[in-house]
């Protein structure tokens, strides 16, 4: 089983390393033909406008949409979460637009550009909180009826969610040593492969 990491811009190497620590083969995706045979795809953090424009240039949006529509797992972290969203408050930038959520980009303002906090994520199993690193992060303002909330900040803001084969996190699990979110996504791809 091979999982792809969209490698147009941003923190893709860290995602590859995390998956490889779990013994999963990875492939960097820059062109549509790189999607062939992949069990799922991670869209990393970075700059969502840049990643979106490059994805248009390389003709990647349509093939990713088509595969995701057939149940193929996709996980977006931070900028990747923005790309997966259906609604980012009317901002004009290329999106995959697959997930029924409304996202606010750069939701934490200048003073708290980047921060770390501990999140309870019951879906990961066990009681241990997850150390979440937020970098100029977006947050989820609204989720549609088919979307499961996986984690919230203490003020209630939603920062991780799942809609069937689509997973989003506003923070960067690939920048910590905690592999539980990567393991969770690997399990999603294994289940999709069996289905
Ligand atoms: N602020 C970035 C954006 O809007 C996301 C930041 C990140 O991915 N770390 O695209």
**pLDDT greater than 80 at residue 112:** no
Q: What's the mean per-residue pLDDT of the chain?
A: 96
Catalytic: 28?
A: no
Helix or strand or coil: residue 87?
A: strand
**pLDDT greater than 70 at residue 98:** yes
pLDDT at 111: 62
* Residues ≥6 apart with Cβ < 8 Å to 47: 9, 10, 79
Region of residue 46 (phi > 0: left; psi between -120 and 50: alpha; otherwise: beta): left
Nearest CA to ligand 1 atom 8: 45
Under 8 Å between Cβ of 167 and 180: no
**pLDDT greater than 90 at residue 194:** no
Domain containing 130: what range? 2-194
Question: Ligand 1: which of 8, 11, 42, 45 to mutate, judged by most atoms within 8 Å of the beta carbon?
Answer: 45
For the chain, the distance separating the N- and C-terminal CA atoms, rounded to the nearest angstrom, is 15
Nearest-angstrom CA–CA distance, 17 and 23: 10
Nearest-angstrom CA–CA distance, 117 and 165: 26
Nearest-angstrom CA–CA distance, 84 and 98: 5
Under DSSP, the state recorded for 14 is: H
Catalytic residue among 78, 116, 123, 141: 78
Sign of CA dihedral 124, 188, 77, 177: positive
Region 166-174 average pLDDT: 98
The domain spanning residue 80 has which CATH number?
3.40.50.880
Question: Ligand 1: which of 46, 95, 104, 176 to mutate, judged by most atoms within 8 Å of the beta carbon?
Answer: 46
Q: What is the pLDDT of residues 128-151, one digit of tens each?
A: 999 999 999 999 999 999 999 999
Region 54-71 average pLDDT: 98
Region 17-29 average pLDDT: 98
C-alpha 136 to ligand 1 mean position (Å): 6
Catalytic residue among 15, 34, 174, 182: 174
Beta bridge partners of 3: 26, 40
**pTM for the full predicted model:** 0.97
pLDDT at 149: 98
How would residue 126 be classed by pLDDT, with cut points 50, 70 and 90? confident
C-alpha 113 to ligand 1 mean position (Å): 10
pLDDT at 188: 98
Dihedral angle at the C-alpha atoms of 153, 155, 161, 167, nearest 10 degrees? -40
**Number of domains observed in the structure of the chain:** 1
**pLDDT greater than 80 at residue 195:** no
Region 59-84 average pLDDT: 98
**pLDDT greater than 90 at residue 162:** yes
How would residue 154 be classed by pLDDT, with cut points 50, 70 and 90? very high
Region 64-73 average pLDDT: 97
Helix or strand or coil: residue 187?
A: helix
Catalytic: 116?
A: no
Ligand 1 atom nearest to 137, measured from its CA: 6
| Ligand 1 pocket, Cβ-based, cut-off 6 angstroms | 45-48, 78-79, 82, 105-106, 135-136
Under 8 Å between Cβ of 84 and 161: no
Nearest-angstrom CA–CA distance, 75 and 166: 6
Catalytic: 182?
A: no
Region 3-26 average pLDDT: 98
Ligand 1 atom nearest to 78, measured from its CA: 8
C-alpha 193 to ligand 1 mean position (Å): 30
Helix or strand or coil: residue 34?
A: helix
């Amino acid at each position: 089983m091979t999982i792809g990491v969209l490698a147009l811009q941003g923190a893709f190497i860290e995602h590859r390393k995390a998956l490889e620590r779990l013994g999963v083969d990875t492939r960097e995706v820059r062109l549509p033909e790189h999607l062939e045979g992949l069990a799922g795809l991670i869209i990393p953090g970075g700059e969502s406008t840049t990643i979106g424009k490059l994805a248009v240039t390389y003709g990647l949006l349509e093939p990713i949409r088509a595969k995701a529509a057939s149940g193929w797992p996709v996980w977006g972290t931070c900028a990747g979460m923005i790309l997966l969203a259906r609604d980012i408050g009317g901002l004009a930038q290329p999106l995959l637009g697959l997930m029924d959520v409304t996202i606010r980009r750069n939701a934490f303002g200048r003073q708290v550009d980047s921060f770390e906090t501990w999140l309870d994520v019951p879906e990961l199993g066990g009681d241990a909180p997850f150390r979440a690193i937020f970098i100029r992060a977006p947050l989820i303002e609204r989720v549609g009826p088919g979307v499961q909330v996986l984690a919230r900040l203490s003020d209630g803001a939603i920062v991780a969610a799942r809609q069937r084969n689509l997973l989003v996190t506003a923070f960067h699990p690939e920048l910590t040593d905690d592999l539980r979110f990567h393991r969770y996504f690997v399990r999603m791809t294994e289940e999709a492969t069996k289905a």
